[in-house]
Amino acid sequence: MSINLGKVLFFLGLAFIALGLIFIWGAETSCSWAESNIVRVAVITDATQIELTIRSPYQILALNTNEELYKGRRLWRAKVAPGESGIKIGKDDFKIYGVRIQPEKSPAIYLDGRKFRGTIDIVRQPDKRLLVVNRLDVEEYICGVLYHEVAPWWPMEALKAQAIAARSFALYQSRVNAHKDYDLESSVYSQVYGGRTSERGRTSKAVRLSKNKVLTYKNKLFPTFYHATCAGHTEKASNLWNINLPPLRGRECQFCQRSPHSRWKKKVSLQDIEEGLEKAGFKVGSIKSIEIADRNVSGRITALEIISTRGGLRVDANRFRLAVGPNIIRSTNFTVQIKNRQAYFDGQGWGHGVGMCQWGAFFMARKGFNAGQILGYYYPESKLKDFSEDYETF
Ligand SMILES: [Zn+2]
């Protein structure tokens, strides 16, 4: 038997480096804030069963009246599911549509093994599925967002710019969604949020260093969209959504040229495209060709002409991207060729392209620009301010 000592040493070395990196970037962080600006994040939607652990004394309150229904010391891997006429938590059946779990300490709540700060609301929806909303201070929330949006090893000024953009986006959403069940989702369609489990030392430091700072335009909050890589020019928001503001008008960006996402290639079967379009409500037959009908000044496609056995169909490029899958078709800046029932996409950039280009921010910070300058570049005419309760929204 022979042992390859070189290999063993190589992997030991890798393990040491990995441990070192975990130590530097994953160290326990102090990311606790007293409740002041609460955001409500839907962390689980449409669940039929959840596993709940609470590592602190806690109360279960009625969601509509705040009346105490139960007081417990600890909860260990209790199954939460819709009951006969309410919500079952462990053996107890609460005959009510919604409860709030309020632990004495924070973070103490674990949902399906993931740790969360603040309190959670569990709501039984009309279709008998469960919605879980995490309520916590906006600063604590951003601590759980940054790790998913950027890497903890990024330059501190780029991390701070990302923290400010994420905070502004969250506070904007908490105001415009006040009448809804929650302010934010925790998916790629909103801001990806992973709770306490996703906090890292350097990202939490960026949150602390930029505490309470938000971007405003004319003293109002606006949706500070951002995306991974624009590949040359950011997108005008009004090309995608019903919002038209100077900070979201789009601008040239030469900073992200060396981003790992500046180019992408993807092979997608025409069958997958047809199915995606059908699901999104388009009537399409067997696809024969996909033509680019229009591009805008940022280089992005605005409309595609899809020729199928059912004739020609003009499809908005962004709707096409969402229908096939936003992480399959990474951007609407591409060329496409069809061969043997396969579509070969050759594209540039990643994301919708509106607002801050994250990899552009990375290279700006590398060049010595600070967070304020980075944000000023990607959101022209915006102003960096301390958040105030009085701010209105666009
Ligand atoms: Zn860019």
Classify residue 196 by its DSSP letter.
Answer: G
Residue 103: its H or E element: strand 98-103
d(CA 101, CA 44): 15
Classify residue 354 by its DSSP letter.
Answer: B
Cα of 230 to ligand 1 centre, how many Å? 4
Name the phi and psi angles at 260, rounded to 5. Answer: -65, -10
The answer to whether residue 32 sits within a structural domain is: no
| Cβ neighbours of residue 9 closer than 8 Å, sequence gap 6 or more | none
Cα of 118 to ligand 1 centre, how many Å? 35
Answer whether 145's CB lies under 8 Å from 190's CB.
no
Examine the domain organization and report whether 313 and 356 are in the same domain: no
CA distances from 339 to 288, 330, 336, 343, 346 (A): 10, 21, 10, 7, 14
Beta carbons within 10 angstroms of residue 393's beta carbon: 14
d(CA 245, CA 45): 32
The answer to whether residue 108 sits within a structural domain is: yes
The answer to whether residue 25 sits within a structural domain is: no
Helix axes 358-366, 156-176, angle to 10 degrees: 150
Answer whether 336's CB lies under 8 Å from 290's CB.
yes
Cα of 367 to ligand 1 centre, how many Å? 14
H-type helices in 26-155, by residue range? 138-143, 146-149
pLDDT, tens digit only, all 394 positions of the chain = 455 666 666 665 556 555 554 444 444 457 888 778 999 999 999 899 999 999 999 999 999 899 999 999 999 999 999 988 899 999 999 999 999 999 999 999 999 999 999 999 999 999 999 999 999 999 999 999 999 999 999 999 999 999 999 999 999 999 999 999 999 998 766 788 999 999 999 999 999 999 999 999 999 999 999 999 999 999 999 999 999 999 999 999 999 999 999 999 999 999 999 999 999 999 999 999 999 999 999 999 999 999 999 999 999 999 999 999 999 999 999 999 999 999 999 999 999 999 999 999 999 999 999 999 999 999 999 999 999 888 999 9
As given in the structure block, the two tokens for residue 36 are 């002041």
Cα of 344 to ligand 1 centre, how many Å? 24
Examine the domain organization and report whether 282 and 333 are in the same domain: yes
Cα of 171 to ligand 1 centre, how many Å? 25
The answer to whether residue 359 sits within a structural domain is: yes
Q: How many whole angstroms from its chain centre is CA 190?
A: 5
Give the pLDDT confidence score for residue 80 in this predicted structure.
97
Cα of 254 to ligand 1 centre, how many Å? 6
Cα of 305 to ligand 1 centre, how many Å? 28
Examine the domain organization and report whether 150 and 232 are in the same domain: yes
Give the pLDDT confidence score for residue 3 in this predicted structure.
53
Question: What is residue 275's three-state secondary structure?
Answer: helix
Tell me how many helices (H) and strands (E) the chain has: 9, 25
Beta strand 392-393 with 220-221 is: parallel
d(CA 283, CA 274): 9
Number of domains in the chain: 3
Q: Which of 136, 163, 178 marks a domain boundary?
A: 136
CA distances from 145 to 37, 180, 206, 374 (A): 16, 21, 12, 19
Examine the domain organization and report whether 226 and 355 are in the same domain: yes
Beta carbons within 10 angstroms of residue 315's beta carbon: 19
Examine the domain organization and report whether 88 and 228 are in the same domain: no
Q: Which of 104, 136, 168 marks a domain boundary?
A: 136
d(CA 160, CA 181): 30
Q: Which of 314, 333, 348 marks a domain boundary?
A: 348
Classify residue 200 by its DSSP letter.
Answer: -
Give the pLDDT confidence score for residue 313 in this predicted structure.
96
The answer to whether residue 15 sits within a structural domain is: no
Say what the pTM is: 0.88
The answer to whether residue 2 sits within a structural domain is: no
Classify residue 316 by its DSSP letter.
Answer: E
Answer whether 377's CB lies under 8 Å from 362's CB.
no
Cα of 347 to ligand 1 centre, how many Å? 14
Examine the domain organization and report whether 221 and 357 are in the same domain: yes
Q: Please, what sign has the CA dihedral across residues 134, 140, 142, 148?
A: negative
Examine the domain organization and report whether 150 and 226 are in the same domain: yes
Torsion angle of C-alpha atoms 33, 34, 35, 38, degrees rounded to 10: -10
Cα of 355 to ligand 1 centre, how many Å? 10
Answer whether 336's CB lies under 8 Å from 218's CB.
no
d(CA 142, CA 140): 6
The answer to whether residue 27 sits within a structural domain is: no
* Residues of the domain holding 92: 39-136
Examine the domain organization and report whether 312 and 381 are in the same domain: no
N residues, the chain = 394
| Cβ neighbours of residue 154 closer than 8 Å, sequence gap 6 or more | 162, 362, 365
Beta strand 38-47 with 184-185 is: parallel
pLDDT digits (tens, 9 = 90+) for 130-176: 999 999 999 999 999 999 999 999 999 999 999 999 999 999 999 99
Give the pLDDT confidence score for residue 10 in this predicted structure.
61
Examine the domain organization and report whether 191 and 236 are in the same domain: yes
Cα of 234 to ligand 1 centre, how many Å? 7
d(CA 287, CA 276): 12
Cα of 253 to ligand 1 centre, how many Å? 5
Examine the domain organization and report whether 219 and 359 are in the same domain: yes
Cα of 357 to ligand 1 centre, how many Å? 5
Examine the domain organization and report whether 168 and 250 are in the same domain: yes
Examine the domain organization and report whether 385 and 256 are in the same domain: yes
Name the phi and psi angles at 303, rounded to 5. Answer: -145, 145
Question: What is residue 154's three-state secondary structure?
Answer: coil
